[in-house]
Structure 1
Amino acid sequence: MTTPRSRATWIKWLLLAALVLAVGLGVVRALDKRKTQAAAARAAAESLQRAPVYTLAAHDVVAVRAVELIQSVGVSGSVEALKTAAIKARAAGEIQGLDKREGDAVKAGEVVARIDSTEARARVRQAERQAASAQAQVAIARRTLDNNQALVRQGFISATALETAIANLAGAEATHQAALAALDIANKALADTTLRSPLSGQIAARLVQNGERVGIDTRVLDVVDLSGFEMEAAITPADAVAVKVGQAAQLRIEGLAQPVQATVARINPSVQASSRSVLIYLRVPAVEGMRPGLFAQGHVVTGSINTLAVPASAVRNDKPQPYIQIVREGNVVHVPLTDGASGQAGAVAMRQVGGVPAGTPVLSAQAGLIREGTAVRLATN
């Protein structure tokens, strides 16, 4: 039979054994955790020592390929009407009969306005009377000369009187010619009171109103001919070397859905002093919706070459010399580009590359910058 004292002793040893077991389990658990942490640290150190291998998706890589590279020069500017005219007042006075407004059509020679001609008509009448008076004086001087010639032949007057009659006739004729010239001037001033359109087109601006008094050279109307357009573009002297008269150009004009084909019509022989640029002029055909002042941009095609090229977006410029990132033997290699041609292959801007074989994988713009020497592998579909 167990006594209470022996039972207490047994419980004490049981608790001691449980405590020892718990301590042992804690120690084992701590050692296992330390071992796990040490293994993780070793793995992390080994991973830091090993260079990471990046997997490149299909859209991260483009290939060097042979293309027909269309070389071009970018241009931009405003489209203006080839023929424009400013109708100005050539005489001072009150504007009358001005009925045309912006957008109205006019024909060459059509009367578009008049200037009060009361004073001009009076001056014409005055000049006509003066011319008639001078003509009458010529007739009198001629009759006098004829009479004096007859009297000289009969010996009734001296030759000096005849010479005087000849001089009087010459003076009368000169006065008559001066009067006729004054009449021409008066008629010209009267004609200047009628304003006519010098070309067929549309009214672009109306700058005065009926009843308004204008001075000489005051602009009254602006007329534009929408049958032809021209664009002035500034390019660098280096680009101007390749641009020739007659070369084709393609323009995107604001508001128009389709591109417009243009032609280089003229090249300014001088370099602009302020911008150090060369001005070229493109002849642009009239199409539906074309209006003066619309902004246009595009390119002039200067030639083409067959070469190896990559998309221009794959060329990086964060170093002093442009370069591309190629994949060679599983590593990224930065290959600098020497001065190469740029152009279009279809709708894609391309850049010529030299010394890189066709088919070489090149990192696209989406891949971003990857340090040279980084190990990569291409994703397989």
Structure 2
Amino acid sequence: MKKTISIILVATALLLAGVAAYQYISGNGDGLPAGFVQGNGRIEAEEVEIAPTIAGRVEKVLVAEGSLVAPGDVLVEMDTDELSAALDRAKAEVALAHQTKAEAEAVVVQRQSEKHRAAQEFERARSLLASENIPESLFEERETEHQVAEAVLGAAMARVATAESQIAAAEAEVRRIAAQIEDSTLFAPMQGRVLYRLAEPGEVVGSGAPIMTILSLENIYMEVFLPAREAGLLPIGAEARIVLDALPDFAIPATVTFVSPEAQFTPKQVETLSEREQLVFRVRVRIPEDLVAGRIEHVKTGLRGISVIRLDAAAAWPEALERRIPPELFE
């Protein structure tokens, strides 16, 4: 019994110490040593909308809100009956275009034979005219027949080229429709969690209209706002710690990945020193992807807390912020 009471007292003391350290840090930042700065924020993730490339009817929605999805998971299947019929028709047009080309090539062979015969008759008539064995009118007739045969052959060859263009166009249409059918199955582009289902089976949606929204769990971060004096000293890649309201005993390692180039909540033109000190800049602090991946099922966005950023790489972290993320975080 005494041992149980002792364990409870120790656990309570640790909890109170953690809460005290959190309050010490999260109050107004005055408790931080030189070389550190803090800001308030919440855990966020990139939102990705899943939408079809063409309008159509939703056939299946395979995930529910809150579901975890991995890259390549099937999320939505669109109805493809109309596209399948169009694909069959396009394939038939390809076959017809090939048949038309074969017929045109057969005509070319025939016209080549006629041209060859007309050319022989023309040369014979030329020789006979030179020896004055035929009248000039007959020679002119053979010359005209030769010219007509050349023209007819050219037209036949042009029809072959037209048939080849028709084949290319029909095959392109087959590829286009096949791509639309392939795009009618919507996959998860990254690891994430389904935030919203915006359409249900049977509904007709437009091209580009979102069917669901996914929170990307590959980029988990907290955004804070820092004064200009401190943001100006902040390098990209600076080390940080995130302390959540729900887990005040632990500090989550993070890294500064973005500092806004523009100030916010202030006039564009500031002249006095006091106004310049009121400028704040948006700073993004990102949790490492490998840290998130190991606890992906427990990650939740919207958790509020603070982010403490080290401005001076030589400054030692306070003991309260040296604690690393425990294995059971987010459980």
TM-score range, shorter chain: 0.5 to 0.7
**Paired residue type of 2:79:** D
> How much has 1:248 moved relative to structure 2?
0.9
Report the Cα offset of residue 242 of structure 1.
Answer: 0.7
The answer as to 2:238 corresponding to 1:265 is no
Structure 2: distance between partners of 1:173 and 1:189: 25
Alignment partner for residue 50 of structure 2, among 87, 94, 97? 87
8 A contact 1:85–1:199 mirrored in 2: no
Question: Does 2:151 align with 1:166?
Answer: no
Match among 160, 176, 181 for residue 172 of structure 2: 181
| 1:120 equivalent among 70, 73, 83 | 83
Quick one: which of 275, 283, 286 aligns to 1:283? 286
CA contact (8 A) 2:62 2:74 kept: no
The alignment-based identity, stated in percent, is: 23
Aligned counterparts of 1:165 and 1:304: Cα–Cα separation in 2: 80
5+ residue gaps, structure 1, are 1-67, 307-342, 348-381
**What pairs with 1:1-381 in structure 2 (closer than 5 Å)?**
69-81=33-45, 84-155=47-118, 157=146, 158-257=149-248, 258-268=250-260, 270-272=261-263, 275=266, 277-285=280-288, 286=292, 289-303=298-312
**CA-CA distance at 1:271 after TM superposition:** 0.7
Unpaired segments ≥5 residues, structure 2: 1-31, 120-145, 267-278, 321-331
> Which structure would you say has the larger Rg?
1
Q: Which structure shows the higher helix fraction? A: 2
2-side partners of 1:106 and 1:279: how far apart? 30
81 and 345 in structure 1: CA distance in 2 versus 1, 3 angstrom threshold: closer
Aligned-partner SS, 1:74: strand
TM-score (norm 1): 0.57
Distance 2:60 2:116 in 1: 65
Look up the equivalent residue of 1:116 and give its one-letter code. Answer: D
Measure the CA separation in 1 of the matches of 2:110 and 2:71. Answer: 56
Matched residue pairs, number? 243
Equivalent-residue separation in structure 2 for 1:163 and 1:190 (angstroms): 41
C-alpha contact (below 8 Å) 2:264/2:281 kept by paired residues: no
TM-score (norm 2): 0.64
- CA displacement at 1:138 relative to structure 2: 1.6
| Distance in structure 2 (CA, Å) of the matches to 1:71 and 1:106 | 40
Alpha-carbon distance, 1:274 to partner: 5.2
